[in-house]
Every structure is written in structure tokens, then in C-alpha cells.
Amino acid sequence: MRRDINFFSTYQNERHKQKNQNIYSYVLVGVVGLFVIGTFTYNQVQISNINHQIDELESKLLDPAIREQIKESDLAFKLSEVLGQYDNGLTSLLTSIESRDLITTQKLDLISSTIPSEVQFGSLSITNTNITISATSTSRTAIAEVQHNLKQLDFIADVYIGSIGGTDTYSFSLNCTLKDVN
């Protein structure tokens, strides 16, 4: 048996391959097209739903009762901000006042316990870092004793006697520098 030789078989196989490639291309383009159309449709439906929800919320916001509640909440928010500012101001003021509370009644009692009977205080002035005392005494040794006793207190760094004047009764001033003052 003899077979016929087909000289066009190579051309026919290539045409068949070309048809298969075209089919794959068409299927791929169709799948991508369906995906694009599907996502576009899905997004349009979601946008429509969100717009509908926005319209519902806006219609609810136009309700007079809701508008009144919004005004009240805005007022409460503004009051809250103002109160917050007052709170911050008062907190800083309280902190500064507490930091200046260096001389307590206990410390004043300790200062008065150092005074001998011959010495009488005339005036007392307290600043952030100093205590200035104007006093009178009947003897110079009592003045020195006051200075020595004040130096022994743990919250006083230094005591300086400014001036001593008089003959029978001595008037003098003491300047005390406080420890640990910022």
C-alpha cells in the first residue's frame, strides 16, 4: 500500500495551531472583559448603596429634634474646651503656688523657737529665696545667739546680720537664705 504524500500538511497544521491560538486569545479577552464588567457593576451597586445611605442620613440630620441635639452637643463641646483650658490654667497656677510654699507654719515655729528672751521680732518678710527679719535686742550676745541658732536649722543655708544700731536697745536685721530653692 502506498500512501499519498500531502505537501500541504505543514501548512494545514500551522493553520490549525493559529486557530487554537486565536481561540485562547478570545477566551482570555472574554474572561478579562467579564472580570472588568463584573467589578464595574459591583462598584456601581456599592456606590449606589452608599449614596442611598448618605441621603437617608442627611434627611435624618434635617429633623428638628436632631438639629437641636447637634446644637446642644456643639455647646457642650465648646464648654468642655473652655473648662479644659481653665483646668490647665488652674493646674499650672496650683503647681506654682505649691512650689512657692517653702515656709510652712512648722518652719515658722522652728524659727520662733530659736529666739532668746532678750530678742523681739519687729517684722518678718519672706520671698522665694530669703527671709528678712527686723528685730530688737537688749544684748549683743543675744543677737549672736539668734544667728547661731538660725544657722543650725536644716532649711536655712546662711544667716547674715545686716546692721546693728543703738546703745541700750539694739535694733538689727537678719537675712536668711533658704536651702533647696529653685
For residue range 139-170, list pLDDT tens digits in order: 889 989 999 998 998 888 889 988 888 888 89
Residue 182 has pLDDT above 50, yes or no: no
Examine residue 123 and state whether it is found in any structural domain, yes or no.
yes
Same domain, 110 and 174: yes
Same domain, 79 and 118: no
Higher pLDDT pick, 69 / 6: 69
Which residue, 142, 152, 151, 84, is CA-closest to 115?
Answer: 142
**Containing structural domain, residue 110:** 105-178
For residue range 40-77, list pLDDT tens digits in order: 999 999 999 999 999 999 888 888 888 899 899 999 99
Same domain, 110 and 68: no
Same domain, 81 and 123: no
Q: Which grid cell sits at 120?
A: 523681739
- Number of domains making up the chain: 2
Can you tell me the mean pLDDT for 4-23?
69
Examine residue 166 and state whether it is found in any structural domain, yes or no.
yes
CATH of the domain at 130: 3.30.1360.100
Examine residue 162 and state whether it is found in any structural domain, yes or no.
yes
In this prediction, residue 128 has a pLDDT band, given cuts at 50, 70 and 90, of confident
CB 147 within 8 A of CB 135: no
Examine residue 55 and state whether it is found in any structural domain, yes or no.
no
Instruction: List phi, psi (to 5°) of 5.
Output: -95, 125
Examine residue 115 and state whether it is found in any structural domain, yes or no.
yes
Same domain, 135 and 155: yes
Q: Count the residues in the chain.
A: 182
